[in-house]
Copies of this chain bind each other. A is one copy, B any other.
């Protein structure tokens, strides 16, 4: 037995796998990475050895040798905490798989100069690419600064992606259409809508989806009660107050995110309305808030973690391509959303009927 090297950590290396498979380390390396030009029999032998030894490559050694990206930045600003944690989980996963570190920086300021300043400091440290989740993905000062420094960026949920930029998103328009159809199919015809922050392009997409779905069912979209919100709980409070104070208050309210939907539920309760018996309330995003209010919210689920993973992967791929000098491909990726139907939506005027039904059931 060879005496163990003075600092090995015991876990087996590519060398061990090579020995076990009866090939050289290089061949193992080729098999593990998408290796072309490896005979099928060799490949299976190597994979067999990998499995037997439960081998997993050392990311530190890998990125050192390959000279790959090691630090990718994630600049975030106060989205809902639920969104951020989901996003971080996905980004972290993808980064680790690639052997890269995630460098976090927050940028809460709305001031253009300050945003540029933070960005500059961040970018000139040692990050090789930057992931920009919303709402920062819409920030022009940041995008401009990053472009000036020449650092690759991938935006997430940027409404109007840059011509030659990387972007990951969901189809906000389509999701809003589906949610509106859900309410229409329950029988609602007087549906209120609370818009999102006007700076977010997604807000407009959602509003368009809402209106188009109404038209599809022959409802006059121009007469539909719509109030401006800003994605905050507080703005949702105000907007829903206004909607419910209308002479003919809506039987359902579609809020552009969960925070505002939660606020709407709170206002409804304060007014003695039963949700969903007297008023259906639906949200968007499926953040943790959706299930921590009562009743739990019907909402649209964004695959936040998956979007983050995809974003990191796109960025790393772009970095690789740039380094190799290959022609860049401009990539946009749209991921699937899903309607999550919970307890806050139901048929209109169900309050009186629902009680007997419950007693009977």
Contact = CB atoms under 8 A, between A and B. Distances in A.
A88 interface: yes
A354 interface: no
A288 interface: yes
Contacts of A277: none
| Residue of A67, A93, A101, A287 most packed against chain B (CB within 10 A) | A101
A360 interface: no
A85 B81 contact: yes
Interface in A74-89: 80-82, 84-86, 88-89
Contact of A234 (B9, B232, B294): B294
Given A88-B85, A269-B270, A101 B59 contact: yes
B96 A126 contact: no
A9 to B, nearest CB: 5
Contacts of A272: 270
A61 B96 CA distance: 16
A23 to B, nearest CB: 23
Given A64-B64, A96-B102, A269-B270, A233 B58 contact: no
A294 B260 CA distance: 12
A56 B86 CA distance: 30
A67 B11 contact: no
A64 B58 contact: yes
Contacts of A104: 89, 92-93
Contacts of A269: 266, 269-270
A81 B288 contact: yes
Contacts of A66: 7
B56 A60 contact: no
B292 A233 contact: yes
A63 interface: yes
A262 B262 CA distance: 12
Contacts of A89: 88, 104
A37 interface: no
Q: Which 5 A-B pairs have the closest CB atoms?
A: A85-B85, A81-B82, A81-B288, A7-B67, A60-B64
19 contacts: A9-B67, A11-B126, A56-B126, A60-B60, A60-B63, A60-B70, A80-B81, A81-B85, A81-B288, A82-B288, A89-B104, A92-B92, A92-B102, A96-B101, A233-B294, A237-B294, A266-B293, A270-B270, A270-B272
Interface of A: 7-9, 11, 56, 58-61, 63-64, 66-67, 70, 80-82, 84-86, 88-89, 92-93, 96, 99, 101-104, 125-126, 232-234, 237, 259, 262-263, 266, 269-270, 272, 287-289, 292-294
